Amino acid sequence: MSGGAALASGAAIAWSNALAPRLARRFGWGSDGRSAATLAFCLADSGLARSSIPTVPGAVAGVALAVAGLATVEPVDRQPPSSLAKWVLVDIPLGTTLPEELLFRGVLTPALRRAYGARTGSIAGPAVFGLWHVGAARAAHDPVFPTICVTFLAGAGFDVLTRRTGRWWPAFVAHWLLNGCGAVLSSGSVFSSSDATAP
Instruction: Give the pLDDT confidence score for residue 140 in this predicted structure.
Output: 86
The C-alpha atoms of residue 98 and residue 135 are separated, in whole angstroms, by 19
Average pLDDT over residues 117-139: 96
Q: Is the pLDDT of residue 143 over 80?
A: yes
* R_g of the chain, CA atoms, integer Å: 16
Q: pLDDT digit string (tens) for 31-65?
A: 889 999 999 999 999 999 999 999 999 999 999 99
Q: Are 135 and 60 in contact (CB under 8 A)?
A: no
User: What pLDDT, on a 0 to 100 scale, did the predictor assign at position 190?
Assistant: 40
pLDDT of residue 69: 97
More confident residue, 132 or 85: 132
More reliable by pLDDT, 192 or 186: 186
Q: State the Cα–Cα distance between residues 169 and 177, nearest whole angstrom.
A: 12
Beta strands in 47-160 (DSSP E): none
Tens-digit pLDDT profile for residues 60-111:
999 999 999 999 999 887 777 778 888 899 999 999 999 999 999 999 999 9
Give the relative orientation of helices 118-132 and 144-165 as an angle to the nearest 10 degrees: 130
Instruction: Give yes or no for a contact between 31 and 90, defined as CB atoms under 8 angstroms apart.
Output: no
pLDDT band at 185 (very low <50, low <70, confident <90, very high): confident
Global pTM value: 0.91
Contact criterion met (CB below 8 Å) for 58 and 112: no
197 CB contacts (<8 Å, ≥6 apart)? 78, 79, 80, 139, 140, 190
What is the pLDDT at residue 30? 87
Pair 53, 1: CB distance under 8 Å: yes
Residues with Cβ < 8 Å from 145, sequence gap 6 or more?
Answer: none
For 8-17, what is the mean pLDDT? 98
> Distances from the Cα of 108 to the Cαs of 18, 69, 186, in angstroms?
20, 18, 31
pLDDT at 198: 40
* Residue 188, pLDDT score: 61
> In the prediction, which pLDDT does 191 show?
38
